[in-house]
Structure 1
Amino acid sequence: MTHRHLTAAAALTACTALLLSGCGSGDDPEGKSDDKIAGAEDASSSSPSASAPDDSKRPSIKLPKDDVLIFENRKTGDPKKDAVLSDNEQRLRAIDAAIIEGDPESEPVYFYSARDAAVSAAKSIQSYVDDDLSVTGTVRYFDRSVTFRSDGSARLTYCSDETKGFAKERKTGKVLQSAPDENSYVFYDTRLDRNEAGVWQTTGVKSQRGAEQCQP
């Protein structure tokens, strides 16, 4: 059974040179986002004095009409939380665009990702490239919730509904559809750090496919 973001290839054993100085799983399996990530350069800063990002310098991300990402709870009324949600949204769009373009070194992915999250994104994109697959359909992101830690980092949790999102063969365009089941729903627990440019970069990701809290 093929699910959109469940890659068919085995995890890569080497990291893309563009990424960081260290390799890792890309996930924070215990959700302990305050831990230091060994071997990875800390390119982000959670300093509250970081200036707001210059929108003119943000990379352009374009998705084809057959790839639709729906984000619920986009506005909380808190500008800081809304900025976290927005930058996470752009990261997810960037990853889809990179998969569709077949480009593991796509610049927008690393604009919104750093450390382990950048490594895991590269592995995921590369596995689609290796299997000659792309993505299509609609994925809905819901139950998005932002909290802030004492160190200035953000914790963002959310669910995804992939019942209408699928992988597709790049050469033939054949959509690899499968009947929806509990594994079509995924729970994400992520860490974001605000860098010196004011961008909330995702730096750690923990995910659980078939999570009970995301089921309809």
Structure 2
Amino acid sequence: MNRRALPAVAALSATAALLMTACSSGSGGGGSSSDKIKGVDHGSAASPSASAAREPGGAQRPNIKLPTSFQVEFTGWTNSDPKLQAILDDSKQQLMGSYAAIIAGNPNDAPMAFYNTGEALMTGKQWIKGFADKDLTLIGKTRAYKPQARISPNGSGTFFYCVDESKSSTRNTKTNKVTGTPADKAQVLYRTKLSKNSSGVWQTTFVTTTQGGCR
């Protein structure tokens, strides 16, 4: 289990048990050779398309909003393959929902159960409770970049991406003490595994992180 130090902002639900590797026989994901994540087996990749978009269908997805005091920038989160774009779209909302739950101090915030299941949901709730118990909220800005998605022959998904925490911090809501993320741990590699539920939502089942894994 790879638990992040509490002040590191992008930890969130990234406390699950297993490291996931990319599916070597899966479908290709977006990203040029310059965008490859060190240490990740990317296989064959399809070029991302800036015009690619997916209209959410099936399930009624929750509306997630973050306060102006904490924002997330998503760079390159498009893919020419609509099946892989669906993974990017739901993974984006999963990350946003985790941030929103920390800021709300509510491990049971609705998007958590909507976009997470199994081990990811259980450990995510525990992690968010850790923030709440220490009266911590999030401020500043993070950037999520270098997304790499795969779909395996059995229909499960694997998703890798990076988060830059260098401009984000935690703030104690009682003392107003601000704690930034150390520079050597600011570029965080996320490895996630997903499954599509009966409503067509790609839910995160496992997450692990590597601090400094995206230098």
- TM range, normalised to the smaller chain? 0.7 to 0.9
Query: What letter is aligned with 1:115?
Result: G
Q: Tell me how many residue pairs correspond in the alignment.
A: 176
Percent identical across equivalent pairs? 32
Aligned 1:21-32 pairs, distance under 5 A: 26-29=16-19, 31=21
- Cα deviation for residue 207 of structure 1 reads 1.2
Give unmatched runs, 5+ long, in structure 2: 24-55
SS in 2 for 1:128: helix
Q: Is the 8 A contact 1:103 1:125 kept in 2?
A: yes
Once the two structures are TM-superposed, the CA of residue 89 in structure 1 deviates from its matched residue by: 0.5
**Aligned runs of 1:32-181 on 2, under 5 Å?**
53-54=57-58, 57-177=60-180, 180-181=182-183
* 2:11 and 2:209 in contact (8 A); partners too: no
Cα distance, 1:71 vs structure 2:
1.2
Letter of the aligned partner of 2:137 in structure 1? S
CA distance in 2, matches of 1:120, 1:189: 15
Deviation for aligned residue 1:172: 3.8
Which secondary structure does the structure 1 equivalent of 2:121 belong to? helix
What is the CA-CA distance between 1:30 and the residue it aligns to? 5.6
Aligned mates of 2:21, 2:137 — CA distance in 1: 29
- Supply the AA of the counterpart residue of 2:9: R
Distance 1:144 1:30, change over 3 A: closer
If the length of structure 1 is used for normalisation, what is the TM-score?
A: 0.75
1:11 corresponding residue in structure 2? none
From 181, 192, 197, give the equivalent of 2:194: 192
Residue 73 of structure 1 aligns to which amino acid in structure 2? G
In structure 2, the residue corresponding to 1:90 is in which secondary structure? helix
Amino acid at match of 1:3: A
Mapped contact 2:20–2:192 kept (Cα < 8 A): no
Structure 1 counterpart SS, 2:198: coil
What is the TM-score with the length of structure 2 in the denominator?
0.75
Equivalent position SS for 1:182: helix
- The one-character-per-residue Cα deviations of 1:19-40 (angstroms, maximum 9, x if unpaired) are xxxxxx623136599xxxxxxx
Mapped partners of 2:208, 2:135: distance in 1: 26
